[in-house]
Amino acid sequence: MNHINVRWRSASLLSIMLAVCCSLLAGSSTSALSGSDFDAGRIIDDSVFYNSSSMSASSIQTFLNSKLPSCDTNGTKSITYNYNSSTGRVNNSSDPLVTTTRATYGQRVYDWRVKNGLSDQGSRAPFTCMKDYSQNTPSMAPASGLCEGINSGSRSAAQIIHDVAAACGINPQVLIVLLQKEQSLVTDDWPWKIQYNNATGFACPDTAPCDPNYAGFFYQVYYAARQFKVYKAYPNDYNYRAKRNNTIYWHPDLSRCGSSTVYIENQATAALYIYTPYRPNSAALKNLYGTGDSCSSYGNRNFWRMFNEWFGSSIQRYRISSHIIDGTTDSSGEQGVVGFSLNSKPTNSVTFELKVSSPSNARVAGTTSVTITPDTWNQPARNIVRISGKYNSALEGTFHYSLVPDSKSSSIDKRFSGLTAPNTQLLQLQADSQPVYRLYSTDTKKHFFTASRERVKDLEAQGFRNEGAKFSYCKAGEQAMIRVVKNDDRRIVAFGSSEYQNYLKASYKTESLDFATSRRAYIPVYWLYDPTLGRSLYTTSESERTSATGFEDKGLAFYVCSADQAPVYRLYRKSNNAHFYSTSESERNHAANGIGYTYEGVGYYACATGSPVYRLYRKSNDAHFYTTSTKERDSIVASGQYRNEGAQFNACSTDTGSPVYRLYRKSNDTHFYTTSTSERNSLVQAGFRDEGERFTAR
Amino acid sequence: MKINRKSSRTPFVAAVLIVAVLSLGAVFWYFSASGSKMSDTPNTINYDPPTKQDKKEAEDNKKELAKDTASSDKPKDSTSTQTIQVAVSDATQYGDVVEVRAFIPEVIESDGSCTAIFTLNDNRLEKKVAAFIEATTTQCRPIDVPVSEFSQSGTWNLVVKYNSAYSRGESSIRKVEVR
């Protein structure tokens, strides 16, 4: 017995020690999150936010089940609330407290609202919990550059979250946390219908009921995800921008609570602030699971806290990055090139597989595997995959597709094992010409233009008459495209081709817009839609796109080509304080992604014909020099310091362009070129020497 | 007996202690490993049951829904306007352009417009843009003003005004350095 007692006591002691140890350690892991860990400029990393493959539909379902072990479907649990039995008023603190079942409470809320002319919030039992929710979902057409198409069908909430996340390139975990942050749908065991209708809080104006076009669980999830992609596609159009100092307010009471300056480090964090534009103050962060003070806001705090507690760190300490070296493919053999890198040096090689997502017919050319070694971890140009474009009968025209991971990474270095490479978007161009179809609705007497065969099919099914391909841009020698509109409502009746002359005779007017003179090689044409009048407006003008009153921005419609000019990209490298100019997209991408340059945008535009501009390279300071003068070129080359890299682009004639000023920077013996007089003047003030007008550009 | 009992117990206790130490080490290793995995890999999913906090948030949300007994279903009265505050999230010169970003908190309307008013001494410059509905706010279209439109360089005062059928108001004054 004693023997047994000793053994029992020892075992008991051990159990207690283990229990204490385990609870301490487990406790430390769950309470590890502290408000001091919240980084206002980096709430979540892009690599996490846009990682659409973090969970399968079944793992989402398992997660939802775990967070809601039982559902109070019939509302049998009790609830205490204020209730006036004479008037039927609920939730007024001056009335007595009563306790009933949730079902009774929900019925009373319903009765009170109906009595007062208010809408039904769906407060009556039975209740459907999100883990059990399903609905018929409509088909969603591809939104170019934003979301891929989604087929119609019956889907559970988990499938909706998964499929929308996959189509739009958003982490499903972000959507799950958004649903919890906005309506507590993950953990609510008796949700009302209004919580599904407004699930992500998207498009519910103060001045009217929520827009029915966006109401309902599927639309709420879809449009929230799509909106996060809109922020990414059009980062300049919103109130917060990544890679800049932003003024972020603590609370909607701006004047009382004030603001702070935050450098937003990435697009994902900017997106969260655009969606919920406040920063938690120290009181809110100090009491991470409760309330702060009267200037506290909680939206972004709760997002961060929930994400980190449910899905691990929102900051990816070790990650794979992708770099577009050549972002376009076409059906005649031009290959896209994407490089990969790590954010720190691994101890061993890191390997992962890639594939091209549907609906493209493009494919990874050659090996689909990338292996990054300790020697190449920060050199994307040495860790590349090539993608071949291929004719796609369903999607003829220009369209986006994604290079996506086909496996998680494997490595002996555990820090880099199990990581997911980011999705990378590429653009498929027609090799020569791109047919743009015109469709006409006999009901509304309005036209619609598209380069997408899929959209043509959709519109034909809706009764539109296909009037055929009216122009094919990106084809050398194509005539200018003219936008012809009717005077009264700016209704577009024709683009390009000689037929516009006929419309002019019929008292239509031609607008000054001419797509072919726009300043980009591949010019995006944006589709704007006025839902009130049912009219569409197509434009290449960013300013018209943002200022067209009454129009909704529907995103990219198709691309057209500029026949007579090309952008000259401007890049800057801090290490040798030098600028580099090129009309080559692949050269631009290589410089920006592989050899330390920062892309500063289009410097100016070169012309199709004109004096050649020669580029010379000096190895001693790793810098370039540009000139149209053959005499200057030859004398510099003769000095032995420069190498002639040949004619790179053409200058414009003096009557069709602006002067390009050359400025000399003595400190490192380099030159700078600009068409901006104000930039020239400010640089002269900063010590540059103005070497005058050297050639002409647009 | 006493000695015998003691001698037979000693190796057993020692074995138990060894097992305990090894177990503690294994437990510590397990939690350390899962802890580091948590911090380095974003895909560590917590399938634990909901916490009290999770449940409380659901109940708090329900209370908020129940409070919504009057305002949201009815269109606002357009005969009177509410006074609102305008938030300026950026007003800085980038290159040749002064960029102004602004929004109206707690208001979601599609019919408003925003006007940026720059003043310096007797000089005045105005730019008006449309406002648009964002997910939870009303935002002003970006207001980009070329530096060439400013009559002089210096520190300008900026106020952004908002006007719609239902709401009007302005931002506090913000200084903008124009070079």
Q: Under a CB-based contact definition with an 8 Å cutoff, are residues B165 and B78 in contact?
A: yes
Whole-angstrom Cα distance, residue A46 to residue B138?
A: 25
The CA–CA distances, whole Å, from A226 to A143, A223, A229 equal 9, 5, 5
Cα B15 to Cα A542: distance, rounded to the nearest angstrom: 77
pTM: 0.59
Supply the pLDDT for residue A523.
61
Total residue count of chain A as it appears in this document: 698
Partners of B112 on chain A (C-beta within 8 Å) are none
Question: Confidence band (pLDDT; 50, 70, 90) for A135?
Answer: very high
CB-based contact A47:A323 (threshold 8 Å)? no
Contact A187 B57 (CB under 8 A): yes
On the CB side of A635, CA atoms within 13 Å amount to: 5
Candidates B42, B49, B73; nearest CB to A48: B42
| Cβ neighbours of B166 in A, within 8 Å | 206-207
B65 vs A121: CB contact, 8 Å cut-off?
Answer: yes
Predicted confidence at residue A45, as pLDDT, reads: 93
Separation of alpha carbons B133 and A208, rounded Å:
12
CA distance A310 to chain B (A): 5
> Which residues face A336 on adjacent strands?
A387
From chain A, the residues in CB contact with B110 under 8 A are 205
Q: Which phi and psi angles does A510 have, rounded to 5°?
A: -100, 135
Residue B6 and residue A573: Cα distance in Å, rounded? 79
Q: For residue B67, which residues of chain A lie inside 8 Å, CB to CB?
A: 91
CA distance B66 to chain A (A): 7
The two beta strands, A328-330 and A424-429, are parallel
Nearest to B66 among A90, A190, A678 (CB): A90
**A237/B142 CB distance under 8 A:** yes
Q: Mind listing the pLDDT tens digit for each residue in A238-288? A: 999 998 999 999 999 999 999 999 999 999 999 999 999 999 999 999 999
Helix H or strand E segment including A403: strand A399-405
Contact A410, A379 (CB under 8 A): no
- Chain A, residues 203-222, CB within 8 A of chain B, namely 203-209
In this predicted structure, the answer to whether residue B7 has a pLDDT above a threshold of 50 is: no
What CATH code would you report for B82-178? 2.60.40.10
Asked if the ipTM is above 0.95, the reply is no
Burial track A473-495 (b if 16+ CB lie within 10 A, e otherwise): bbeeebeebbbbbeeeebbbbbb
What per-residue confidence (pLDDT) applies to A584? 78
| Selected residue with higher pLDDT from B130 and A335 | B130
Cα–Cα distance between A459 and A254 in angstroms, integer? 47
Given an 8 Å threshold on Cβ–Cβ distance, is A17 in contact with B16? no
Kindly report the backbone phi and psi dihedral angles of residue A461, in degrees, each rounded to the nearest multiple of 5, phi listed first: -65, -25
Which amino acid is residue A567, in one-letter code? P
Task: Please state, in angstroms and rounded to a whole number, the distance separating the CA atoms of residues A491 and A318.
Answer: 52
Interface test with A, best of B4, B53, B62, B148 (most A CBs within 10 A): B62
For residue A359, is the peptide bond before it cis, meaning its omega torsion is within 30 degrees of 0?
Answer: yes
Q: How far apart are CA A626 and CA A648, in angstroms?
A: 9
Name the token pair of B129.
């843009």
- Going by the DSSP 8-state scheme, the letter that residue A568 receives in this structure is E
Strands B82-85 and B167-170: parallel
What is the Rg, in whole angstroms, of the alpha carbon atoms belonging to chain A? 30
CB contact under 8 A, B147 and A678: yes
- The whole-angstrom distance between A245's CA and the closest CA on chain B is 8
DSSP A239: S
Over chain A, what is the mean pLDDT?
A: 80
CA separation for the pair A100, B38 (Å, rounded)? 43
- Cβ distance A172 to A190 under 8 Å? no
Does A3 contact B9 at a Cβ distance shorter than 8 Å? yes
Q: CA-to-CA distance for A436 and A431, rounded, in angstroms?
A: 14
Mean pLDDT over residues A136-144, rounded? 87
Residue of A nearest to B36 (CA): A415
Q: In chain B, pLDDT over 90 holds for what percent of residues?
A: 40
Query: How would residue A171 be classed by pLDDT, with cut points 50, 70 and 90?
Result: very high
Interface size A-B, in CB pairs within 8 Å, comes to: 241
**Inter-chain residue contact B27 with A25, CB threshold 8 Å:** yes
Give the pLDDT mean for A473-489.
Answer: 43
Return the residue matching tokens 């997502």.
A357
User: Biggest alpha carbon distance in chain A?
Assistant: 114
Among the partner-chain residues B20, B37, B87, the one whose CB lies closest to the CB of A17 is B20
Cβ(A120)–Cβ(A138) below 8 Å: no
Smallest Cβ distance to A254: which of B92, B105, B139? Answer: B105
Please check whether residue A109 is in contact with residue A119, taking contact to mean a CB–CB distance below 8 angstroms: no
Contacts of A255 (CB under 8 A, 6+ apart): B85, B172
